[in-house]
């Protein structure tokens, strides 16, 4: 995992070069559309990371073993997923101000993403509010299974309802040029590897914190407290 960071930095720089310099300006939106590459990268990462959170929640609820270790990843994926959702909303709002003339509209894609943000913010608050570890693990996993309902809805929202949000992946292929697709791909890999790195780091930190907690209790016990 340590070597992953040596890949992420050059990939980031390459993605920035491709998105900001290499691809040409868009015909009607000009230079402002370039935020699309960041937006697409963080949005795809958000949906993927939250899907991983769902799979981990499934494992916690339906499998008996290794719940503590899995739970570290459940917390880490929810946090990184929320971070990526925040970045998606922020980059989208900046673009919307230029393209649509307003930071926010109640478009289905935007609305479902805002709900997604609140659901996972609630997930993290729920974790925070349960003291007993076993209870926290199972309760947040059950909540994680329920909140995931919104993730496919966010993805399909532009296809189900009439939305003004642009669609990239459609049944008849992709709505972007091959050159744009390369830049999208670079940004996507930069963001998803960055997410993986953050998740690994956060999960390890959780594990270390628990180990420290156990050692402290043992030491206090040895001293007779």
Partner 1 sequence: MIRSAGWILWKDITLELRGRELLLPAGVFGLVIAMLYGFAFDPSKSGLHGMFPGLLWLGIFFASFLAVGRAFSIEADSAQQLLLAPIDRGALFVAKLALNVLLTLVLAAVMTPAFTVLLQTALPAEVGTFLVIEALGLVGFAAAGTAMGALAAQTRLRELLLPVLLLPFTSPLLLGVVSATSALYGPTPAAASSWIGLIAIFDVIFIVVPALLFEFLTEV
Given the rule CB under 8 A, which residues bind partner 1?
61, 111, 115, 118-119, 121-122, 125-126, 129-132, 134-135, 137-139, 142-143, 145-146, 149
For the CB of residue 157, give the shortest distance to partner 1 in the complex, in Å: 11
CA quadruple 85, 180, 26, 190: dihedral sign: positive
Nearer to partner 1, 21 or 129 (CB): 129
DSSP type of residue 26: B
Find all residues with CB under 8 Å of 1, minimum gap 6, and list them. 197, 200
- C-alpha span between 193 and 186 (Å, rounded): 11
Please report how close the Cβ of residue 172 comes to partner 1 at its closest, in angstroms.
Answer: 27
Least distance from partner 1 to the Cβ atom of residue 134, Å: 5
C-beta of 34 vs 109, nearer to partner 1:
109
How far is it, in rounded angstroms, from Cα 58 to Cα 50? Answer: 12
Q: State which residue, 89 or 184, has the beta carbon closest to partner 1.
A: 89
Least distance from C-beta 87 to partner 1, angstroms?
A: 20
Q: What's the DSSP call for residue 33?
A: G
CB nearer partner 1, residue 142 or residue 200: 142
**Using CA atoms in the order 184, 113, 124, 46, what is the torsion angle rounded to 10 degrees?**
-10
């Amino acid at each position: 995992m340590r070597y992953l960071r040596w890949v992420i930095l050059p990939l980031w720089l390459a993605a920035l070069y491709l998105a900001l310099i290499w691809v040409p300006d868009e015909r009607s939106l000009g230079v402002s559309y370039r935020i699309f590459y960041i937006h697409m990268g963080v949005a795809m990462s958000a949906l993927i990371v939250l899907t991983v959170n769902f799979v981990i929640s499934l494992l916690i609820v339906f499998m008996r073993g290794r719940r503590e270790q899995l739970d570290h990843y459940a917390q880490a994926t929810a946090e990184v997923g929320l971070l990526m959702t925040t970045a998606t909303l922020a980059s989208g709002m900046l673009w919307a101000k230029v393209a649509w003339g307003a930071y926010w509209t109640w478009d289905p894609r935007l609305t479902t993403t805002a709900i997604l943000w609140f659901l996972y913010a609630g997930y993290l608050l729920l974790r925070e509010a349960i003291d007993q570890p076993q209870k926290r693990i199972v309760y947040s996993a059950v909540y994680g299974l329920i909140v995931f309902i919104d993730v496919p809805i966010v993805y399909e929202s532009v296809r189900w309802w009439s939305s003004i949000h642009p669609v990239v992946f459609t049944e008849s292929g992709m709505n972007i040029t091959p050159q744009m697709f390369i830049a999208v791909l670079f940004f996507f890999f930069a963001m998803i590897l960055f997410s993986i790195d953050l998740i690994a780091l956060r999960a390890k930190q959780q594990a270390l914190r628990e180990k420290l907690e156990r050692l402290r209790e043992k030491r206090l016990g040895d001293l007779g407290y």
